[in-house]
Structure 1
Amino acid sequence: MEKNNSFQMKICVVGTFAVGKSSLVRRFVENRFDSHYVNTIGATIRQKKLIWDGLSINMNIWDMEDNTDVMHSSYLWEANAFLAVCDLSRLQTIPFLWSNIRQLQIHYPNVPVIVAGNKVDLVKQPRLPLPDDLQESVEAVVLTSAKTGENVYRLFSLMANKMVAPAAVSVY
């Protein structure tokens, strides 16, 4: 993975429909938000370069469609990290999040998972406690807003940091 102080990183973004996967990626890559919803078909690949502690990190971010079959898809092959997203304003998306993570555990047990509880701007007292069986599988939980940009850069920086210097579970 390392070459001349640079890293190539494949991040796969998973979650059910309309949780803000594409919006999080757009906010991070382009620093903009578009309220017009467009359903992702297959995968959209975006790129962003970060400089982290003197290292150049080239992030290839795969924004995945909402499809449970995608968990078995070749799209996920060679992923360095998974970003699992739910919508904090739609509590029914949270069980799907946990289910997705359990599937990732089975099929990709050595790939780190970071959780984004998105749309924090729409919730008065946001919380996203991890189920006991996922405590060791999830590297971090970050509460985000693609709309306002809250914690979006921190989310992707944390993913880069986990690849460069793995650490214990963190909650932001």
Structure 2
Amino acid sequence: MLQKKICLLGAFGVGKTSLVRRFVDSIFSDAYLTTVGVKIDKKVMSTVGRSDPMALILWDIAGEDEVAAVRVSYLRGAAGYLLVVDGTRPETLDTAESIQARIGAEIGNAPFIALLNKSDLQEEWALPAERISALEATGWTFARTSAKTGMGVEESFEDLAGRLSK
């Protein structure tokens, strides 16, 4: 069985752990628990174009801010990653851009998708569309997700898995 390591990266409180729990266990909890270091989960799934299943080894890496940067050792061996942004907090897109700028030097040009999480909170949405468009023009791929409702979660992981199986 093919196994691929996927890292979830982003600022504190953007919903990385909630996205993993929704994807792996189909559950959501409003309780906020800070991830310390890294939490590793696994999900076996079928991908388009492959006859055998693929095991995604999901590394939910603790959130970062200016003080706590992603530990490079966690990124080694990653086939791809998800950059998670909180759509209600524009500064989390700044953090995602900073992370993306550093990752290339560590794991090369690995496939990634930026997840605009908390899409269920449309009345609180604060990400400027023109900023998203500018990043898309540089090659970023965005997907809107909601760990709470499940919107776009399965599809986003499947999209990344499909990019890794090629």
TM-score between both structures, scaled by the size of structure 1 = 0.84
Give 1:100 shift.
1.0
**Once superposed, what is the RMSD of the aligned Cα atoms?**
1.9
Question: CA–CA distance in 2 between the matches of 1:142 and 1:133?
Answer: 11
Structure 1 counterpart SS, 2:19: helix
Give 1:113 shift.
1.5
Question: CA–CA distance in 2 between the matches of 1:133 and 1:147?
Answer: 25
- 8 Å CA contact 1:85–1:115 kept in 2: the answer is yes
- 8 Å CA contact 1:81–1:159 kept in 2: the answer is yes
Cα 1:75–1:130, aligned 2, differ >3 Å: closer, same or farther? farther
Give 1:42 shift.
0.4
Structure 2 counterpart SS, 1:75: helix
One-letter amino acid of the structure 2 residue matched with residue 58 of structure 1: A
Gap runs ≥5 in structure 1: 1-5, 166-172
Structure 2 counterpart SS, 1:99: helix
- 8 Å CA contact 2:77–2:107 kept in 1: the answer is no
Question: CA–CA distance in 2 between the matches of 1:16 and 1:122?
Answer: 18
Q: What's the % identity of the aligned pairs?
A: 32
Give 1:47 shift.
0.5
Give runs of aligned pairs for residues 87-126 of structure 1, distance below 5 A: 87-124=86-123
Structure 1 counterpart SS, 2:12: coil
Q: Give the number of aligned pairs.
A: 157
| Residue matched to 1:168 | none
Displacement over 6 Å in runs of 4+: none
Cα 1:86–1:9, aligned 2, differ >3 Å: closer, same or farther? same
- 8 Å CA contact 1:101–1:113 kept in 2: the answer is no
| Residue matched to 2:12 | 17
Cα 1:130–1:8, aligned 2, differ >3 Å: closer, same or farther? farther
Q: Deviations over 1:56-78 (max 9, x none)?
A: 110000000023431x4211100
Cα 1:130–1:97, aligned 2, differ >3 Å: closer, same or farther? farther
| Residue matched to 2:36 | 41
The answer to whether the aligner puts 1:129 opposite 2:124 as a matched pair is no
Give 1:104 shift.
1.1
Cα 1:132–1:149, aligned 2, differ >3 Å: closer, same or farther? closer
Cα 1:103–1:61, aligned 2, differ >3 Å: closer, same or farther? same
| Residue matched to 1:156 | 157
More strand by share: 1
